[in-house]
Chain A
Amino acid sequence: MSATDIDAGAALPKAPRDLVPLLLPAALALIALPFIPSSSTWLTLTIAGLAMGMMIFVMASGLTLIFGLMDVLNFGHGAFIAIGAYMATLVLLPLTGWMQADSVWLNLAAVLPAIVLAVGVTGLLGLAFERVVIMPVYGQHLKQILITMGGMIVAEQLLYALFGPQQIPLPLPASLRGSFAIGEAAIEKYRVVCVLVGLAVFLAMLAVLNRTKIGLLIRAGVENTEMVEALGYRITRLFVGVFMAGSALAGLGGVMWGLYREQVNAAMGGELLVLVFIVVIIGGLGSVSGCFIGALLVALATNYVGFLVPKLALITDIALMVAVLLWRPRGLYPVTSR
Chain B
Amino acid sequence: MSELLTLSRVETHIGRYHILHGVELAVAEGQTTMLLGRNGAGKTTTLRTIMGLWRASSGEIRLGGERIEALPTPAIARAGIGYVPETMAVFSDLTVRENLVLAARDGPIDETRLDWIFGFFPPLKKFWLSRAGTLSGGQKQMLSFARSLIEPRRLLLIDEPTKGLAPAIIGALIDCLREVKRRGATILLVEQNFRVAQTIGDSVAVMDNGRVVHAGPMAELAADAGLQHKLLGLSLDTHQ
Contacts and interface: CB of A to CB of B under 8 A. Distances in A.
A235 B52 CA distance: 14
A217 B72 contact: no
Interface-central residue, A10, A222, A228, A232, by most chain B CB under 10 Å = A232
A216 interface: yes
B18 interface: no
Contact of B128 (A6, A217, A220): A6
B92 interface: yes
Given A6-B128, A14-B130, A15-B134, A216 B94 contact: yes
A41 interface: no
B218 to A, nearest CB: 27
A230 interface: yes
Given A12-B126, A14-B129, A3 B108 contact: yes
A143 interface: no
Nearest to B118: A8
A223 interface: yes
B101 interface: yes
B93 interface: yes
B68 to A, nearest CB: 13
Contacts of B110: 3
A15 to B, nearest CB: 4
Interface in B27-86: 51, 53, 72-74, 77-78, 83, 85
Interface-central residue, B92, B93, B104, B147, by most chain A CB under 10 Å = B93
B102 interface: yes
B74 A4 contact: no
B89 interface: yes
Interface string B90-133: 01111011100111110011110010001000000111111100
For chain A, the bracket of interface size reads 20 to 34
B77 A231 contact: yes
Contacts of A232: 74, 77-78, 105
B94 A220 contact: yes
Interface residues of B, number: 37
A9 B89 CA distance: 22
A226 B102 contact: no
A230 B51 CA distance: 7
Contact of A9 (B93, B102, B125): B125
Interface string A308-332: 0000000000000000000000000
Nearest to B83: A230
A219 interface: yes
A213 B94 contact: no
B73 A3 contact: no
A230 B77 contact: yes
A219 B134 contact: no
Contacts of B73: 226, 229-230
A216 B89 contact: no
A213 B51 CA distance: 23
Given A4-B101, A216-B102, A223-B91, A230 B127 contact: no
Given A6-B114, A216-B101, A219-B91, A231 B109 contact: no
Given A219-B94, A230-B53, A234-B74, A213 B130 contact: no
27 contacts: A3-B109, A3-B111, A4-B97, A4-B109, A6-B109, A6-B111, A6-B128, A8-B125, A8-B128, A9-B96, A9-B97, A9-B129, A10-B129, A12-B127, A213-B101, A216-B94, A216-B101, A216-B102, A217-B102, A219-B93, A220-B94, A223-B93, A227-B89, A229-B74, A231-B105, A232-B74, A335-B93
Interface of A: 2-4, 6-10, 12, 14-15, 213, 216-217, 219-220, 222-224, 226-235, 335
| A-B pairs with lowest CB-CB distance, top 4 | A9-B128, A3-B109, A232-B77, A15-B134
